[in-house]
Structure 1
Amino acid sequence: MTVELTEDQSMIVETAGKVGAKFGLDYWRDKDKSKEFPTEAWKAICEAGLCGVALPEACGGSGRGMLDMALIIETLSATGAGSTVGQLFMCNPIFGGVAIVKYGSERMRTELLPKLISGELQFCMALTEPDAGSNTLEMRAYAAPDGNGFRLNGQKIWITNVPESGKMLVVARTMKYSEAARRSDGISIFLIDTGRVGISHARIDKLGTNTLASSTVFFEDVRIEGDELIGTLHNGWPELLDILNAERIATTAGLVGTVDLAIKLATDYARERKVFRGKPISSYQGLQFPLAQAYAEMECARLMNRQAATLFDQGKPFGTQSNIAKLIAAQACSAATERAMQTMGGMGYATEFHVERLWRDCRLFRFAPVSEEMILNYIAVHQLGMMRSY
Structure 2
Amino acid sequence: MTAFSEQGTATLDLGEDFPEIRDGVRRICADFPQTYWRELDKSEGYPSEFVQAMTDAGFLASLIPEEYGGAGLPIRAAGVILQECHASGCYAAAAHAQMYTMGTLLRHGTPEQKAKYLPKIATGELRLQAFGVTEPTTGSDTTQLKTRAVRDGDHYVIHGQKVWTSRAMFSDLMLLLCRTSPAEQGQKKTDGISVLLVDMREARGNGMEIRKLDAMINHNTTEIFFDGLRVPAENLIGPEGKGFKCILDGMNAERILVSHESIGDGQWFINTAT
CA distance in 2, matches of 1:112, 1:174: 24
Q: 1:34 to 1:121 in 2, by over 3 A?
A: same
Q: Is 1:4 paired with 2:14?
A: yes
Structure 2: segments with no counterpart, 5+ residues = 2-11
> After the TM superposition, which parts of structure 1 deviate over 3 Å for at least 4 consecutive aligned residues?
1-7
Structure 1: segments with no counterpart, 5+ residues = 268-390
Q: Which residue of 2 aligns with 1:250?
A: 257
**Aligned with residue 103 of structure 1, among 101, 108, 114:** 108
Q: Which residue of 2 aligns with 1:206?
A: 215
Offset of residue 187 of structure 1: 0.4
Offset of residue 176 of structure 1: 1.3
**Aligned with residue 78 of structure 1, among 72, 83, 87:** 87
Q: Which residue of 2 aligns with 1:121?
A: 126
Q: Is 1:170 paired with 2:179?
A: no
Cα pair 1:148 1:225 within 8 Å, conserved = yes
Please give the per-residue CA displacement for 1:16-37, whole angstroms capped at 9, x wherever unaligned: 1111111122211111111111
CA distance in 1, matches of 2:271, 2:13: 22
CA distance in 1, matches of 2:255, 2:264: 14
Q: Secondary structure at the match of 2:37?
A: helix
Q: Is 1:147 paired with 2:157?
A: no
Please give the per-residue CA displacement for 1:71-106, whole angstroms capped at 9, x wherever unaligned: 01000111111xx413511x21211x2122111122
CA root-mean-square deviation: 1.6
Please give the per-residue CA displacement for 1:275-304, whole angstroms capped at 9, x wherever unaligned: xxxxxxxxxxxxxxxxxxxxxxxxxxxxxx
CA distance in 2, matches of 1:260, 1:26: 19
Q: Secondary structure at the match of 2:169?
A: coil
Cα pair 1:87 1:251 within 8 Å, conserved = no
Q: Which residue of 2 aligns with 1:42?
A: 51
Please give the per-residue CA displacement for 1:333-373, whole angstroms capped at 9, x wherever unaligned: xxxxxxxxxxxxxxxxxxxxxxxxxxxxxxxxxxxxxxxxx
**Aligned with residue 23 of structure 2, among 9, 14, 38:** 14
CA distance in 2, matches of 1:168, 1:220: 16
CA distance in 1, matches of 2:227, 2:136: 16
CA distance in 2, matches of 1:214, 1:46: 21
Q: May I ask how many residue pairs the two structures share in their alignment?
A: 260
Q: Which residue of 1 aligns with 2:6?
A: none
Q: 1:106 to 1:170 in 2, by over 3 A?
A: same
CA distance in 2, matches of 1:108, 1:43: 24
Cα pair 2:178 2:193 within 8 Å, conserved = yes
CA distance in 2, matches of 1:217, 1:140: 13
Q: Percent identity?
A: 29
Q: Is 1:190 paired with 2:196?
A: yes
Which structure exhibits the higher relative contact order, with contacts defined as CA atoms closer than 8 Å and separated by 6 or more residues?
A: 2
TM-score normalised by length of structure 2: 0.90
CA distance in 2, matches of 1:178, 1:72: 43
Cα pair 2:127 2:173 within 8 Å, conserved = yes
What are the residue-to-residue correspondences of 1:231-380 with 2, within 5 Å?
231-267=238-274
Offset of residue 41 of structure 1: 0.7
Cα pair 2:69 2:119 within 8 Å, conserved = yes
Q: Which has the higher strand share?
A: 2
Q: Which residue of 2 aligns with 1:277?
A: none
Cα pair 2:70 2:122 within 8 Å, conserved = yes
Q: Secondary structure at the match of 1:218?
A: strand
CA distance in 1, matches of 2:216, 2:232: 37
**Higher Cα radius of gyration:** 1
Cα pair 1:86 1:253 within 8 Å, conserved = no
CA distance in 2, matches of 1:253, 1:25: 20
Offset of residue 178 of structure 1: 3.3
CA distance in 2, matches of 1:42, 1:23: 11
Offset of residue 207 of structure 1: 0.3
Please give the per-residue CA displacement for 1:98-144, whole angstroms capped at 9, x wherever unaligned: 12211112222222222222222212111000011111111000101
